[in-house]
Amino acid sequence: MKILVTIAHFFDSRGDRFYGSTGPNAQQRIHGLTQCVASLHQSLGKAQTKLVELSRPILTPVTKVQTNDIDVVICTTGGNHLVGQLPVPEAMYEHREVEAEPMLLGFACHEVLRDRLGEYDYYCYLEDDLAIQDPWFFAKLKWFTDRASDGALLQPNRFELSIAEPIRKLYIDGHISVDFASEWQDIRDRPRLNATVFGVRVTFERTPNPHSGCFFVNSNQMATWAERPYFLDRDVSFAGQLESAATLGIMKTFRIYKPAVANAGFLEILHTNNRYLGHRLKVDPKRG
C-alpha cells in the first residue's frame, strides 16, 4: 500500500504547559517526534532485512505482505519546532512550514491530504507524540473496512507504558458522557460489530469518546470527507482545537468504532508522552 502520513508538530516552551507542545521539556518532544517518524518506517515500511547467515554478514530483504510505501510530511508554523534537532535522516520525512495558528496546525495537515488525493491508498494524521508499533496496523484497518464498509472508521486505542508505576500499560481514552459528542454522532446507530479473528471473538464498539489524536482513512473515505461542506472549516467545537483537528471532521463523516475493552489491543497506538500514567493518574496498588 501507499500511505501518506501528516504530522502536526509545534513546540514553544513559553506556553501554558497544558499540552506537551507548550511545556518546558524539549528533549521529551524530540524523543516523541523521533519515535513517531521512525516507527512509521520501522514497523510499516519496506526497508527491512534479515541476517540469513551468522557466519557471514549476508542480508536479504524481508518480503512481507504488510510492508508499505510511506511518505511522511511534518507540518510546522512560525519557526516554533524541533525538526532541526531530530536524530532522524531527512530522507524519512518532508518538512513543510505552513501559515497557520499553532493550535490549528492539524487543519493544515488536512489540506496536505486533500491536495494529494488520488495518489495514495491511505491518508493519515498523527499528533507528534504517537507511534505505531504494529506492522499489521493497516492490514487490520483494511480488513475492518472490507467488512464494515467505507462508512465505518476504526480508530486505535491510545496507550501509555511504564516500568515504574503499579500499572505497566494504560489505555488513556476513557469514556466520557454520551451527551458530550451527541451533536455529531449517534452511537446507538449500529453500536457494536463482532467478528472472529484467528479463532478469537473480537468486538468493536461505537464510543462516546472517539478521540485518538489521529485518524487513518482510505482513499474513498478521504475523497468523501473532502467533498463535505465542512471540510477545512476549522470548526473547533469538540473539546478543543487540537482535539477537533484530530477527531471532529471524521466524527461528522463516519461511524467511528474502537476495539472494545476486552480486546483493546486489536488496534492500538503508543502515546509517547506519559501525560496520564504517572502524572494525572493516581493509582492505589492495593485496589483492583
Report the pLDDT value the prediction gives residue 275, as an integer from 0 to 100.
85
Helix ranges restricted to H, the chain: 26-44, 105-115, 137-148, 219-226, 241-253
Closest CA to 129 of 71, 209, 214, 44: 214
**pLDDT category of residue 131 using cuts at 50, 70 and 90:** very high
d(CA 34, CA 37): 5
CB atoms within 10 A of CB 195: 14
The pTM assigned to this predicted structure is: 0.91
DSSP 91-107: GG-EEEE--S-GGGHHH
Residue 41 confidence (pLDDT) above 80: yes
Average pLDDT over residues 263-273: 97
**pLDDT category of residue 61 using cuts at 50, 70 and 90:** low
DSSP helix/strand/coil, 119? coil
Q: Is 223 exposed, middle or buried (0-12, 13-18, 19+ CB in 10 A)?
A: middle
CB atoms within 10 A of CB 280: 9
